[in-house]
Chain A
Amino acid sequence: MKQGRLGRILLWSSLLVLIAGVVWAAVTTIPNSALIPSTQYYTDGLGGGIGSTVMAPNDDSSAGPINLGFTVNFFGTNYTQFFVNNNGNVTFGNGLSAYTPTGPQGATQPIISPYFADVDTRGAGQVYVRTDIPNEIIVTWDQVGYYSIHADKLASFQLVLRGPNYNVPAGEGTVGFFYKAVQWETGDASGGTGGFGGTPAAVGFGDGNSSGYVLAASLQNGVSSVVTNHHIWFSLVNGVPQVGGGGSPTPAPTSLYLLAVGLIGLAGYRFFMMRRNQN
């Protein structure tokens, strides 16, 4: 009798943990300490060259679809094209005109955000894409201003995206965020004044649904000073971003959680069957 009761408790517990886990597993936070100090773009280490401009000076425009030249698995879906958005991010499937990041993932479509904020290149800066390196795409937001037409503070950052056939050097990864001086973090339409306040920039990844990987400083006041003169490498392991280079991936929190749910469920099932056998 006691064993049957325990079995039911364990079964219900695993169900509750499962439901709670759906909420808990939505966003994984990347610690700010994962950022590595540096003062250059990735391309500076290659001798320079950030490619060609992909958009005329604008506010909230997108360019694309642009061929990657390789296939990238992003949260379980394969993509061969992507969109470059003026507002510091790239997306898959469609371009994105949103200027204020919403929710921890930033947007409701698959997105990689080195620095998703209200970039306005009508006042300063441009967005560039370099495509001449096999299995590698580099997008640079170079000395870009912020909405509305402000050029008193600028931001310079770069996204590196590599295909599966790229021979990744030790210590690197397949997705890189590189930051030089980032002097602002909020546009006027996002509640900012003088480039700060309101809803600051989002940094990270989102699958467009419930899963995201975001820097701890993402959407927080002070994000600009956290990322300035730093870089970070990620690897897409089965399409899921993980900090650092390849090799043996650390089990994602989601995987550990599912393992725990499975073990609790198995234990409950065992007690339940034992009780049935006794009857």
Chain B
Amino acid sequence: MKRLILLVSVTLLFAMAAFAAAADGTWLVATSNTNVPQKLVLQTSGSALAGTADTKAISHGGTNGNDLWFQVTTLSGTEYYKGTISGSQLKLYPNKGGGPITYNHQ
């Protein structure tokens, strides 16, 4: 019985890991671009995306398959971002240009 419970628990653990959205977790910038967020901490809930870009909370976030998008409000206004996830890499495209910026999943 104990073995059965252990087996089910391990199976559930693997299943949960497999179902975790690709965007979830911490992403660190892979380039030396200091004009973009250096660290993204993202958390999905259904198709909604929440989290932080450096110390600022993101807003209007969402995901659809490998696409993700969010906004960051700064003193100079709203900055728009969209990106695509491929494996452990996220390529982010700021609306103001300068993309893609590559982030690595931690």
Contacts and interface: CB of A to CB of B under 8 A. Distances in A.
A97 B82 CA distance: 11
A149 B95 CA distance: 18
Interface in A195-251: 198
> From DSSP, what is the main secondary structure of chain B's interface residues?
strand
Contacts of A189: 69, 80-82, 95
Nearest to A189: B69
A60 B64 CA distance: 16
A188 B62 contact: yes
A100 B13 CA distance: 40
Give the size range of A's interface with the partner: 10 to 19
A102 B69 contact: no
A100 B65 contact: no
A189 B65 CA distance: 14
Contact of A100 (B62, B64, B67, B80): B80
A98 B79 CA distance: 11
A198 B71 CA distance: 11
B60 A97 contact: no
A93 interface: no
B62 A97 contact: no
B65 to A, nearest CB: 7
Contacts of B64: 148-149, 188
A191 B81 CA distance: 11
A87 B63 CA distance: 20
A151 to B, nearest CB: 12
Interface string B89-106: 000010111010000000
Interface string A52-78: 000000001000000000000000000
Contacts of A188: 62, 64, 69
A121 interface: no
Given A60-B93, A188-B62, A191-B60, A99 B99 contact: no
A147 interface: yes
Contacts of A198: 60
Contacts of B67: 147-149
A189 B94 CA distance: 10
Contacts of A97: 93, 97, 99
A190 interface: yes
Contacts of A147: 67, 69, 82
A24 B31 CA distance: 41
20 contacts: A60-B82, A60-B93, A97-B97, A97-B99, A98-B97, A100-B95, A102-B95, A102-B96, A147-B69, A148-B62, A148-B64, A148-B69, A148-B82, A188-B62, A188-B64, A189-B69, A189-B82, A189-B95, A190-B80, A191-B60
Interface of A: 60, 97-100, 102, 147-149, 188-191, 198
Q: Identify the 9 closest CB pairs spanning chains A and B, nearest first.
A: A189-B69, A148-B64, A189-B82, A148-B67, A100-B80, A100-B95, A191-B60, A98-B95, A188-B62
Interface of B: 60, 62, 64-65, 67, 69, 71, 80-82, 93, 95-97, 99
